[in-house]
Amino acid sequence: MTDTVKYVLDESRIPRAWYNLQADLPKPLPPVLHPGTKQPVGPDDLAPLFPMELILQEVTQEREVPIPEPVRDVYRQWRPSPLFRARRLEKVLQTPAHIYYKYEGVSPAGSHKPNTAVPQAFYNREAGVRKLVTETGAGQWGSSLAFAGALFGIDVQVFMVRVSYDQKPYRRALMETYGAKCVASPSNLTNAGRAILAQRPDHPGSLGIAISEAVEIAAQNDHIKYALGSVLNHVLLHQTIVGQEAIEQFAMTGDYPDVIVGCTGGGSNFAGLAFPFIGAQLRGGKKIDVIATEPTACPTLTRGRYAYDFGDTAHLTPLTKMHTLGSTFTPPGFHAGGLRYHGMAPLVSHLQELGLSRSLAYTQSRVFDAGVQFARAEGIVPAPEANHAVRGAIDEAIRCREEGVSRTILFNLSGHGHFDMQAYIDYFGGKLKDLAYDEAELASALAGLPSVAEPA
């Protein structure tokens, strides 16, 4: 029996449609509300920020949304991504569990994010948009949109959270290599940024602030639109290509997942893998234990409140009902920069409320223990964010060993960690601190949640 088992699909099997979980939900999502009137928003309210095709994908109830051929053409460079059976890791753990992972680090930018960056750039170009502005935490989303912008001839400007801008110069260089402009946020280019800097000139930045800056610029300029790398329904929709491929690949294995694990920042890679399986379950298929994993330092699903909140600090975005730590919450500067958002995708939040998924939080040192154990067995060095999924999968496999039962575990290896080796250097140097968030700050951020009369 060989040690490395890799399930590959021919590129003709790249799915022809994305899967929309909204078509199969037992209860619809609560409406998105206008930040001023607090009434449900219509497509026109979002038109300054997004091209109409993406707005329609945000609200569609159709089960299948066709993938345009030019997008499939770009996907062909790295898709279908491989599904691996982690046999060597199973041996190390001495577990009867079967562990599989879908590897999204094979994209040019090194993560799952190009799965949505490419269609977003495509639909914007079709709508005649010349420039996109966005935010980025660790730089994964910024570099993915920069890559997609280069392919479709769109200028890209990225507001990068200040701590990451200083800590991760290689990601910044990658964005610049693709031709994007990268600015540290908070910046003095926007009202939102200037207001923050006036209060605190050395502010480390947050995703919520960077979103405010990008949204402000897009809202003020007709030819500039905004792009978001997670959270929104259309972003999660684009990521479902991952889970659909995995369903086809599982048909080759003779197995089917009992447990699915994904890490959650805004929820997109988790949703991308899990939603097609949850949809199959809701249509009468097998029930799966679906687990979202997150950092204890930014515990949105495990400690956040399910409430209407803004997506950004300056309160320019619509209000969505989601698990949130409060839009002013600034988590401590831990290494999984992609998991530092105060909110969570409304669809992922809704699933947990419906009891269709659950969530677990881990400290930084425990997720790096898992990532290093994984790398030594399987050879791939995971991104710090993905280490949260590795931790969840390894814990499930250990539980199988202790209970003497075999389960099939599938997790999303959302990206590689080649640009994050400083985090590993800090781990080996004993410098990774298990930072706790500030309880008083969380309480005050939650106290500041907008009061909203729930629409009936």
Ligand X SMILES: *Cc1c(COP(=O)(O)O)cnc(C)c1O
- Choices 40-48, 215-223, 264-272, 432-440 (CB under 6 A): range interacting with ligand X: 264-272
Q: Please say which residue, 49 or 383, places its beta carbon nearer to ligand X.
A: 383
| Min dist. Cβ of residue 390 to ligand X (A) | 11
Q: Using alpha carbons only, how large is the chain's radius of gyration in Å?
A: 20
- Check residue 116 for interaction with ligand X (CB under 6 A): no
CB 254 to ligand X: min, Å: 29
Q: What is the DSSP letter of 274?
A: H
* 113 sits near ligand X (criterion: CB under 6 A): yes
Give 137-173 as a DSSP string: SSSHHHHHHHHHHHHHT-EEEEEEEHHHHHH-HHHHH
Question: DSSP state, 40?
Answer: B
Q: Which residue has the tokens 């079709």?
A: 126
User: Which residue lies nearer to ligand X by CB, 95 or 272?
Assistant: 272
**Site for ligand X contains 171 (CB under 6 A):** no
- The answer to whether residues 299 and 334 touch, using CB atoms and an 8 Å cutoff, is no
- Residue 274's closest CA among 382, 369, 359? 359
Q: Does 263 bind ligand X (CB under 6 A)?
A: yes
First to last CA, the chain: 58
Compute the distance between CA of residue 271 and CA of residue 236 in angstroms, rounded to an integer: 6
Told to check if 266 binds ligand X by CB under 6 A, we report yes
Interface with ligand X (CB under 6 A), residue total 20
Tell the smallest beta-carbon distance from residue 309 to ligand X (Å): 17
- For residue 183, the 8-state DSSP code is E
- Residue 276 in the binding site for ligand X (CB under 6 A): no
Alpha-carbon distances of 109 from 114, 145, 175, 411, rounded to whole Å: 7, 9, 10, 20
Contacts of 128 (CB under 8 A, 6+ apart): none
Sites for ligand X among residues 330-349 (CB under 6 A): 338-339
- CB of 269 vs ligand X, minimal distance in Å: 3
Q: Are 378 and 387 in contact (CB under 8 A)?
A: no
Among 120, 190, 230, 328, interactor with ligand X by CB under 6 A: 230
Q: How far is the CB of 412 from ligand X (least distance, A)?
A: 8
User: How do strand 305-310 and strand 319-324 relate by DSSP bridges?
Assistant: antiparallel
269 binds ligand X (CB under 6 A): yes
Cα 14 from Cα 141, distance rounded (Å): 23
State in angstroms the smallest separation of the CB of 383 from ligand X.
Answer: 4
| DSSP designation for 190 | S
CB nearer to ligand X: pick between 140 and 320 = 140
Closest approach of ligand X to the CB of residue 110, in Å: 8
The answer to whether 304 contacts ligand X (rule: CB under 6 A) is no
Contact status: 267 vs ligand X (CB under 6 A)? yes
Q: Of the candidates 185, 268, 324, 364, which one interacts with ligand X according to CB under 6 A?
A: 268
Interface positions, 283-302, toward ligand X (CB under 6 A): none
Q: Which residues bind ligand X (CB under 6 A)?
A: 111, 113, 140-141, 230, 263-270, 338-339, 383, 385-386, 414-415
